[in-house]
């Protein structure tokens, strides 16, 4: 009995060892969504940057730095949130990311977008994972290619949905017209058939009354 119990334990341990390690790696409520890439001049814009931890259960701390490379230039400019390092972004940035030290959302809000803001934005996460054996440092970089337009362009999904709605409305109208024509023809045919039956009945009654009159005259 003991040997059987030991075998079951060994079998269970073997099954657990065969489970891929990445199955235990979950992001919890974190989901890495790409930032929008089109801003309208004169309006505000949210530059999104999300870097989820590989293992949610591990404690960590992180810092986020933003860099900007204008269109046509080769070098990035360092843009800090706490202390704006470039005059182009003075009094124009707000932090819209995670408030605690374990940062996973590093989004920033840019006020009063101008055409000079067109270019590449780089979000850099410097994360330290506090593991039992030793701390692990991870660097994650994400780029956002931002274009600035005068008027916001309509999204393809919105255009397609509008076209589909238009086609659906036209299709429903044609279907209703077809139903009305079919009903009219059916009602008209039934009316004609009813009138024809009435005419035949009247004719039959007339012939019957005529035959009766002829019989009376013969007598």
- Which burial class, exposed, middle or buried, applies to 142 when counting CB atoms under 10 A from its CB (0-12, 13-18, 19+)? middle
Domain ranges of the chain: 24-152, 154-213
Band of residue 209 on the pLDDT scale cut at 50, 70, 90: confident
Which residues, including other chains, have CB under 8 Å from residue 60's CB and lie 6 or more apart? Answer: 53, 102, 127, 128, 129, 130
- What tokens were used for 170? 């036209």
Element (H, E) at 10: helix 2-18
8-49 pLDDT per residue, tens: 433 344 433 433 443 333 445 688 888 888 889 999 999 999
So what's the pLDDT on residue 26?
Answer: 42
- What tokens were used for 30? 């974190």
Any idea which architecture 24-152 has in CATH?
A: Sandwich (2.60)
52-105 pLDDT per residue, tens: 887 788 899 998 999 999 988 889 988 865 554 456 676 788 888 888 888 889
Strand partners, 136: 129
Distance CA 123, CA 65 (A): 6
Stretch among 36-45, 60-69, 114-123, 156-165 having the lowest mean pLDDT: 156-165
Distance CA 60, CA 154 (A): 40
Distance CA 191, CA 181 (A): 15
Determine the average pLDDT of the residues in 110-128. Answer: 92
Distance CA 122, CA 144 (A): 6
pTM above 0.85, yes or no: no
Which residues, including other chains, have CB under 8 Å from residue 135's CB and lie 6 or more apart? Answer: 128, 129
């Amino acid at each position: 009995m003991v040997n059987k119990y030991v075998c079951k334990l060994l079998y269970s341990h073997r099954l657990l060892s065969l489970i891929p390690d990445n199955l235990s790696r979950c992001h919890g409520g974190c989901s890495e969504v790409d930032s929008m890439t089109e801003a309208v001049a004169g309006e505000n814009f949210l530059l999104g940057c999300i870097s989820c931890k590989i293992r949610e259960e591990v404690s960590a701390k992180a810092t986020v730095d933003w860099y900007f490379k204008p269109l046509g230039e080769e070098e990035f400019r360092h843009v800090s949130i706490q202390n704006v390092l470039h005059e182009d972004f003075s009094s124009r940035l707000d932090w819209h990311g995670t408030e605690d030290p374990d940062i996973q959302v590093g989004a920033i809000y840019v006020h009063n977008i101008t055409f000079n803001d067109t270019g590449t934005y780089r979000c850099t996460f410097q994360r330290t994972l506090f593991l039992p054996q030793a701390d692990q440092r991870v660097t994650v970089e994400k780029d956002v290619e931002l274009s600035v337009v005068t008027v916001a362009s309509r999204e393809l999904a919105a255009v397609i949905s509008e076209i589909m709605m238009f086609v659906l409305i036209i299709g429903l109208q044609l279907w209703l017209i077809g139903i009305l024509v079919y009903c009219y023809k059916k009602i008209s045919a039934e009316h004609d058939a009813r009138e024809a039956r009435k005419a035949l009945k009247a004719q039959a009654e007339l012939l019957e009354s005529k035959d009766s009159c002829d019989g009376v005259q013969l007598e």
